[in-house]
Structure 1
Amino acid sequence: MTFATGVIIANNYYAQPLEAALATAFGAPSSAVGAVLTIIQVSYAIGLATLVPLGDLLERRRLVVVMLSVTVLGLIVVAAAPTLSILAAAGGLVGLTTVAAQILVPFAAQIAKDGEQGKVVSTVMSGLLIGILVSRVIAGLIAAVFGWRAVFLLGAGLTAIAVVALWRSLPVVAPATRMSYPRLLGSVFTLIREEPVLRLRMVYGASGYASFGALWTSIGFLLAAPPFSLGEATIGLFALFGVAGALAARFAGRLADRGRAHPATGAFLAVIAASFAVVALGAHSLVALAIGLVIFDFGVQGSHISNQSVVYALRPEARSRLNTAYMTSYFIGGATGSGLSAALYASHGWAAVCWIGAAFPTVGLLLWAAESLSRRRARARGSAAPRGVDALTRAAGPGAERD
């Protein structure tokens, strides 16, 4: 499952270090290529909202295999696309179906032992994060030698291997939910309405990933332009500085299992916002940019794992739908950051990207501070604690009172 999530999610990120190459190949402006990346993210969000809930309703192994077979076909069309519009349409199909990775993650939480959900989720998510990082490196290296189309053919081949591996190795687990598809989708909104913790974590996740989308959508343009003028291979290698994100995932998972998800969330959001003070210097210094990326990815992925660990603990029988609610807002945030970044970079440059990138986690941090104050007041009142704060304590798990 760890291997497969990495292979699957990589398909959504191959294009990011190839922005300049795609703009040249299709004679399109940077804003148009940025729009294609945004379409992929929006399609992923749509898939989260409409397809991931099926993980609670249908047999997961068969569902994942069917979805990924469509992904393979979409990647082949991307590789052969004669126009940017066809590439965008096929990329949207790929984004829609690669949400299969988000069916696997809550499945891993389901089969984990009690008290180890954070550890297991962080392990599977480490594969996913490494897939994101390696995808950019591979994309840059392959494009430099064989051209950008070969990158997506490689993605199709790796995804096909994952399909076979998952079919052979995944356990068959009967779904616990029986209801119509419309009711299934409607129950997602019921969960959002009834779970204040979920609503908070949706905002925290969206703010962090909006920042992620803002930075990584435009960094390729920054590195390809003077004074750096880097090629695709070198641009792709910059993703390796994000390996700190995979380390943060394991660290955040252990903190969540110990009931420390709440303070960890605030710390990680603060790290994201602060990292842009260094990332902004990257307009003139590759060393500063590299250091900023290490700090930035550590904060983003640590915050994400903290959020997931809390969300999956809310209602174990509805993990796919909880994941739908959380991840849909997460990727809507990413698409928002990506779209704003593409427009701002074209008009105001890297400094504007850094300002908007820092603004998103700052909003999340302010909400976290308000939540913390509410928790302290509720503890001071003792039995008068509101339902929302009680739910926060339950979801945080063992040791939550120490938070």
Structure 2
Amino acid sequence: MDVWRRLLLAVVCGVAVASIYAAQPVLEPMGRDLGVPPELTGWIVATGQFGYLAGLLLLVPLGDVVDRRRLIAVHLAITAAAMILTASASAAWLAFAGLATAGVFAVVVQTTVAYAASVSPPAERGRNIGVVTSGVVVGILGARVVTGALAEVWGWRSVYAVLAVLSLCLAALVLVALPSEERLHPAAGYRQIVGSLGGLFTQRVFLTRGLIAFFLFASFGTLWSGLSLPLADTPWQLSESQIGLFGIAGLAGALGAARAGRWADAGRATPVSGLALTLLILSWAAIAQLPWSLWLLIVGIVLLDFAVQAVHVSNQHVLAAAHPERVSSVIGGCMVFYSLGSALGAAATTAVFTTYGWTGSSLLGAGFGACALAVWATNRRLPREGANHPSEKPGTRQVQEETQGAGQAGPVMNSPKAL
């Protein structure tokens, strides 16, 4: 896959995820304009998240049945329509309908990652997934910076208008620039694939990586959903636009983990996950210094987002290698853990901060990281089947270790094709 196509897929992920998180910096003016009471403005973001969960269960499995390239284009086009509805909404219920629809079809992110995995040669799969998924973190963190700037100049509606235009342009580019997948007849239909999602939760590789993802994003959510509270308070008393700039530090850390895909290709996804989770826990020691030092906070943010992205890429690589015949369904199912973990972190950090201050929130974030590391360590101690053969390609041992108990993979539906 050449660099321009990887970049295109990364931008698709970034724009899609931004449609969910764009409201965070503009909740107050958006709620005031739409007549939403201040105590209910949190539902503006929550609506998109609930839609996203529905999309994970109902839409992502389509990627294992139909051509993912066309599916990506269709999802982007519908997202654009939802953004237009939100930008032009004259009443709160219209905005909520647009945001919920955008959330449902934001699962184009998982379809895009699955497409990148299916068209990549095995030796390049981790690298390509790493580049493409970097767009997710850029979308989450970058939305905080860009949204604030746009809203300050043209108002909150301009944010969704820009996202609508970007989504339409990307839909056209995907159809023009990306080739269709070489795909054999799917081993199962849509209903069978959706019905089989529950069985994934009994498989060791899926459950292990899912639990790691749950605690990983609980820690991530603890930071980013709670950070504005102490920064807006004494002694810093920063404005919303100033707080948004801390997203740049997060971007630097996440993009610094771009090599995580190469490490996964070399068969080091499992040890890299362990080291990154350890770094995640240590990063909270610096983040906890927020009341006294913004520089140490920045260092902690860079380290935390580096660790999160490294583990995220490793998760995607392991799952794609273990289930090549149903990449979309498996990655989509795992993202349920991400969404639930993020929601837990967001809800818990607010309650803990109110009672115990930023020290309590920092201990909470580190505790979530410790839980993720405990899951990783427990899985490492469990026995694995077979031993590495000298003729095996890089990454085989890692898949053997983590797919213990996962059963035999079904017939491969996607024929790897280098772009």
Which secondary structure does the structure 2 equivalent of 1:259 belong to? coil
Looking at structure 2, the residues matched to 150 and 349 of structure 1 have their Cα atoms a distance apart, in angstroms, of 35
Show the counterpart of 1:49: 57
State the one-letter code of the partner of 2:197: V
Looking at structure 2, the residues matched to 120 and 267 of structure 1 have their Cα atoms a distance apart, in angstroms, of 22
Looking at structure 2, the residues matched to 321 and 217 of structure 1 have their Cα atoms a distance apart, in angstroms, of 28
Show the counterpart of 2:221: 213
Which deviates more, 335-344 or 162-171?
335-344
Show the counterpart of 2:279: 271
State the one-letter code of the partner of 1:318: R
* Conserved? CA contact 2:14–2:139, under 8 Å: yes
1:211-290 map, 5 Å: 211-290=219-298
1:367 CA drift (Å): 1.5
Matching residue within 196, 200, 207 for 1:199: 207
RMSD of aligned residue pairs (Cα, Å) = 2.8
Looking at structure 2, the residues matched to 184 and 167 of structure 1 have their Cα atoms a distance apart, in angstroms, of 26
Show the counterpart of 1:186: 195
Looking at structure 1, the residues matched to 377 and 49 of structure 2 have their Cα atoms a distance apart, in angstroms, of 29
Matching residue within 12, 24, 33 for 1:4: 12
* Conserved? CA contact 1:35–1:342, under 8 Å: no
* Conserved? CA contact 2:318–2:399, under 8 Å: no
* Conserved? CA contact 1:118–1:257, under 8 Å: yes
Show the counterpart of 1:160: 168
* Conserved? CA contact 2:276–2:310, under 8 Å: yes
1:11 CA drift (Å): 1.6
Matching residue within 79, 82, 85 for 2:87: 79
361 and 320 in structure 1: CA distance in 2 versus 1, 3 angstrom threshold: same
Q: Deviations over 1:252-293 (max 9, x none)?
A: 112111111111111111222222222222244322322221
Looking at structure 2, the residues matched to 5 and 274 of structure 1 have their Cα atoms a distance apart, in angstroms, of 29
139 and 321 in structure 1: CA distance in 2 versus 1, 3 angstrom threshold: same
Looking at structure 1, the residues matched to 198 and 189 of structure 2 have their Cα atoms a distance apart, in angstroms, of 15
State the one-letter code of the partner of 2:377: A
* Conserved? CA contact 1:278–1:291, under 8 Å: yes
* Conserved? CA contact 2:52–2:104, under 8 Å: yes
Show the counterpart of 1:370: 378
Looking at structure 2, the residues matched to 284 and 81 of structure 1 have their Cα atoms a distance apart, in angstroms, of 43
* Conserved? CA contact 1:117–1:257, under 8 Å: yes
Looking at structure 2, the residues matched to 13 and 331 of structure 1 have their Cα atoms a distance apart, in angstroms, of 12
Could you tell me which runs of 5 or more consecutive residues in structure 1 were left unpaired when the two chains were aligned.
384-389, 398-403
Q: Deviations over 1:296-349 (max 9, x none)?
A: 111111111111111100021111111122112222211222233344445654
1:382 CA drift (Å): 7.8
Structure 1 length as normaliser, TM-score?
A: 0.86
Matching residue within 319, 330, 335 for 1:327: 335
Looking at structure 2, the residues matched to 176 and 352 of structure 1 have their Cα atoms a distance apart, in angstroms, of 53
Looking at structure 1, the residues matched to 269 and 42 of structure 2 have their Cα atoms a distance apart, in angstroms, of 34
Which secondary structure does the structure 1 equivalent of 2:259 belong to? helix
Q: Deviations over 1:164-203 (max 9, x none)?
A: 111222222346415343211012223333x311110011
* Conserved? CA contact 2:18–2:140, under 8 Å: yes
298 and 228 in structure 1: CA distance in 2 versus 1, 3 angstrom threshold: same
Show the counterpart of 1:394: 400
Looking at structure 2, the residues matched to 135 and 249 of structure 1 have their Cα atoms a distance apart, in angstroms, of 19
134 and 12 in structure 1: CA distance in 2 versus 1, 3 angstrom threshold: same
Looking at structure 1, the residues matched to 293 and 30 of structure 2 have their Cα atoms a distance apart, in angstroms, of 25
1:224 CA drift (Å): 3.5
* Conserved? CA contact 1:244–1:295, under 8 Å: no
1:28 CA drift (Å): 4.0
Looking at structure 1, the residues matched to 287 and 52 of structure 2 have their Cα atoms a distance apart, in angstroms, of 27
Give the structure with the higher percent helix: 1
Show the counterpart of 1:117: 125
Looking at structure 1, the residues matched to 399 and 111 of structure 2 have their Cα atoms a distance apart, in angstroms, of 26
State the one-letter code of the partner of 2:246: F
27 and 78 in structure 1: CA distance in 2 versus 1, 3 angstrom threshold: same
